[in-house]
Structure 1
Amino acid sequence: MDGRTMTEPLHPVWISGAARLAGVIGYPVTHSRSPRLHGFWLARHRIDGAYLPLAIRPGDLAETLPALPRMGFRGVNLTLPHKELVLPLCDEVEPVARAIGAVNTLVFGEDHRIIGTNTDAWGFGAALAAGAPARDAAAPALVLGAGGAARAVVYALAEAGAGRILIANRTAERAAALIRDLAPHCPATVLEAVDWAARSDLLAGCGTLVNTTSLGLHGQPPLEIDLARADDRLVVSDIVYDPLETPVLKAARARGLVAVDGLGMLLHQAVPGFERWFGVRPVVDAALRRHVAADLIGAEAPC
């Protein structure tokens, strides 16, 4: 890059008959920002390749997926509703995806084998490390939510060294299921289900708060939590990225706390897949962030 301030890639991509192909499978898939994200890197590195949105119905996944490597695809990302449905269709599932119970990235081998992995945990950990480098990773963490994203977040926090992770979910049974499934993979971390109604009181003594629910997402109710009892060193993370500045992040900044928005997780989780498909390890930087966030609500919010 030549240092100019711009959000668009500097170089167009010219695709040849030897182009490397990748994409994202979802249904619907129109909301995905992955084509914009990977397209930026393809242009930056002048790679002969393309990253395509693929709208595939759940009922068609088993029939369609094996055809992709035969068509020249090196791999794909998976978004809703395919992350769990694809597990039995993989020839190999890497340990991180097996532990989390979901696949968000497929790599197609030269023999057309389908290898499933999960980069969400790595992406969250990398984004949190970048946004809060002084965070006490060993301190207790409070995770709100118990869905697929929460599983990746809990796994990442445990891998980073959290001694205790509290999981608060509006449906207690889902929190219990998360702990049952993940505890064997996080032997050095105590996982504990806690009452959703007590979430504000539980902040005392926590080093990290992560919202993995849809509360605060554009069009959804805000997350209601009182940060008054939080330690001054609490790091507040919200994996929602539309808007970039969710109500809980705004409240955290007003309280003087370190706040980490959800766009970083989206950007960082894309790095391992891009490297495996296209042979170049890309960098997450300010230019990429501006490009992907250009039309998000609150795009000028702090990183």
Structure 2
Amino acid sequence: MTMPFAEVIGDPISQSKSPAIHRFWLEKLGIEADYRASRVSEADVADYLAERQADPDWRGCNVTMPLKQKVQPHLSSVEEPATSIGAVNTIYPAFDRLLAGTNTDAAGFLEPLTKHLQAPHLFRMARILGAGGAARAIAHALARENFTLVIAARRLEQAADLIASLPQTTQHHAVSLDHFAQTTDFAFDDRQGLLDLVINASPLGMRGKSPLVFDWSHAPPGAIAYDIVTDPLETDFLRAAREAGHETIDGLAMLIGQAAEAFRLFFGSPPPRQHDDELRALLTA
């Protein structure tokens, strides 16, 4: 007997926590469906989507590295904010099973910042470390929330290209990632009424990747440290931020937030977020 299912695709994919998240919610809601992980290479994208589109049990997929831009030519439509961001992380069969792509990373990233964003500020600034697919979603989300952005990348032209894609509501800045590696004696002004973020939106610091070198003398007093890396969950970046007295947000916050948006599209029901503490315990066991 078959049942409805959704999945996450990418290459590699075995490390993904998405199946555990969606299966947890499906069980809590008593929905007879499944969520899987499927390894799909760049060369296999077209065949994969054609096969899944023809499967009436398939409810859609989340898309991870390196496919967020590769899938777009094979979709019937790309919705906002994916169009502006230039990256798709969620695909679902819409009317007549035509494939639609969207992006839930932006909403997922903003979710744990909701209380901060509801307050008025004289000025908002975010230092974003990285300029890849996840950084694009984060930068577009923050630009719409009236942040001035400093985008730091190992390749300066990549940071500049990202800035050029943003809605020009304010002036943004591109710098080399090395800029933040050395200690600074910059004297920050009074941050009362300001909102400052320092975000690792790169794979640096992830298990098996190069370390992220960031000196916390570059962070204004009261800045919030946000790392989207989920393995390990307690990164050196967050540990050093906490030791320097900063509030921290870990990668599970964004991962669960973006999954919640996708779950609604796949299974037609909001996930039971009252169980987030239990879900976090499951994911970190």
| TM superposition score normalised by structure 1 | 0.83
Between the aligned partners of 1:236 and 1:203, the Cα distance in structure 2 is 19
Tell me how large the CA RMSD over aligned residues is. Answer: 2.3
Q: Does 1:252 align with 2:236?
A: no
Q: Which position in structure 1 is the counterpart of 2:192?
A: none
2:9 to 25, 36, 60: 25
Q: Which position in structure 1 is the counterpart of 2:126?
A: 141
1:262 to 245, 251, 256: 251
1:74 to 56, 59, 74: 59
Q: From the superposition, tell whether residues 45 and 131 of structure 1 become closer, same or farther in structure 2 (CA, over 3 Å).
A: farther
| TM superposition score normalised by structure 2 | 0.88
Q: Which position in structure 2 is the counterpart of 1:289?
A: 280
Q: Which position in structure 2 is the counterpart of 1:39?
A: 23
Q: Does 1:237 align with 2:222?
A: no
Checking the alignment, whether the CA contact within 8 Å between 2:223 and 2:246 is kept in structure 1 is yes
- Matched residue SS, 2:8: strand
Deviation at 1:132, TM superposition (A): 9.1
Q: What amino acid is aligned across from residue 225 of structure 2 in structure 1?
A: V
How many residues are paired up?
Answer: 274
Between the aligned partners of 1:282 and 1:78, the Cα distance in structure 2 is 19
Q: From the superposition, tell whether residues 132 and 191 of structure 1 become closer, same or farther in structure 2 (CA, over 3 Å).
A: closer
Q: From the superposition, tell whether residues 73 and 198 of structure 1 become closer, same or farther in structure 2 (CA, over 3 Å).
A: same
Between the aligned partners of 1:259 and 1:82, the Cα distance in structure 2 is 29
Q: Does 1:113 align with 2:98?
A: yes
Between the aligned partners of 1:101 and 1:192, the Cα distance in structure 2 is 20
Q: Which position in structure 1 is the counterpart of 2:156?
A: 172
Between the aligned partners of 2:199 and 2:125, the Cα distance in structure 1 is 12
Deviation at 1:263, TM superposition (A): 1.2
Between the aligned partners of 2:122 and 2:234, the Cα distance in structure 1 is 23
Deviation at 1:189, TM superposition (A): 3.2
Checking the alignment, whether the CA contact within 8 Å between 2:151 and 2:173 is kept in structure 1 is yes
Checking the alignment, whether the CA contact within 8 Å between 1:211 and 1:239 is kept in structure 2 is yes
Q: From the superposition, tell whether residues 240 and 126 of structure 1 become closer, same or farther in structure 2 (CA, over 3 Å).
A: same
Q: Does 1:197 align with 2:178?
A: yes
- Show structure 2 runs of 5+ residues with no match: 190-194
Between the aligned partners of 1:106 and 1:80, the Cα distance in structure 2 is 14
Between the aligned partners of 1:275 and 1:117, the Cα distance in structure 2 is 13
- Show structure 1 runs of 5+ residues with no match: 1-15, 295-303
Identical columns (%): 38
Q: Does 1:151 align with 2:136?
A: yes
